[in-house]
Amino acid sequence: MISAVSTGHIRVKALKYIPGTIAGHEPCGIIVEEGPGLKRFKKGDRVIVYHISGCGVCYDCRRGYYISCKSKYRQAYGWQRHGGMAPYILADEKDLIALPDELTYKDGAQVACGFGTVYEALEKINVSGNDAVLVTGLGPVGMAALMLARAMGANKLIGVETNDYRISLVKQLGLADYVFKPGENTLEQILEITGGKGVEKALDASASDAGRRLAIRATREWGKIAFVGEGGTCTFEPSPDIIHGQKAIYGSWVTSLWKMEELVERLVRWGVHPERLITHEFSLENASEAYRLMAEGNCGKVAVVFND
């Protein structure tokens, strides 16, 4: 079992943590035992676990959006039922996505949330080869956004980040064409490299007021902006920032089962490996160090890996 580490989630009432539940909400592994009545998967299959187990019968679940299930039966792996930090977890077949041989467990663990979240958002704003794309906030989710936007054809990628380690990592991995630190002249710098017009598409993963405002103002007329960073605020002037420029802001929360399945297929086709974003690996015994490192921010993606 591989489990990727994330921090900073906002817990609403439906996601209240049950004390004693084993953490790990991005699980990926192999089926070692079967329960009765399986219809698709079997013992020995490599799978990604969608990290929310919805009721399966409400409106959102029928559309594949277990994340939006409001039923009392909704349970999150790592919050209300044991997650990927456990050596073995009990998963419902409906929550599983097949992991192709071309992808590693470390690839699959990131599909379960980070890359799935980004893919859903980029699809909503229709990123294509026509676009220059801005990503504000270059943590693991922001870096995933750059990787996928490139694969989807974006012809100019711009990142904005405060953390020097992550700026260096983005440059080292070649994820962006330009990386700026936020400051008084950042908007002008983005406008300068986009012919004074701004980007066609932007995605905010910073969850900061300034990052979101920059994403809006650096987007050209008729452009689209996606917000995926949780929490925080957003302060802007509706008329000059949105209405007069005929821009659209999309909220995007995680992803759906069918989009996850689609993403897995496309990762293989594109030759994209989320594993590239992993900078540190820890054993289960040292999981606390993994969380500490993620909280500090001087890392890319962090994985807890079972040695066997």
Contact 145, 203 (CB under 8 A): yes
pLDDT of res. 3: 56
Q: CA 237 to CA 260: how far, in whole Å?
A: 35
Q: Is 75 helix (H, G, I), strand (E, B) or coil?
A: strand
Q: Is 96 helix (H, G, I), strand (E, B) or coil?
A: strand
pLDDT of res. 277: 98
Q: Is 155 helix (H, G, I), strand (E, B) or coil?
A: coil
DSSP state of 228: -
pLDDT of res. 197: 98
Q: Is 163 helix (H, G, I), strand (E, B) or coil?
A: coil
pLDDT of res. 16: 83
Contact 258, 236 (CB under 8 A): no
Q: What count of Cα atoms within 13 Å lies in the side-chain half-sphere of residue 183?
A: 5
In tens, the pLDDT along 105-122 reads: 999 999 988 999 999 999
**Low-confidence spans in the chain with pLDDT less than 50:** 6-14
pLDDT of res. 183: 96
pLDDT of res. 222: 98
Contact 17, 78 (CB under 8 A): no
In tens, the pLDDT along 163-192 reads: 999 999 999 999 999 999 999 999 999 999
| Strands 132-136, 156-160: pairing kind | parallel
pLDDT of res. 10: 38
Q: CA 15 to CA 81: how far, in whole Å?
A: 11
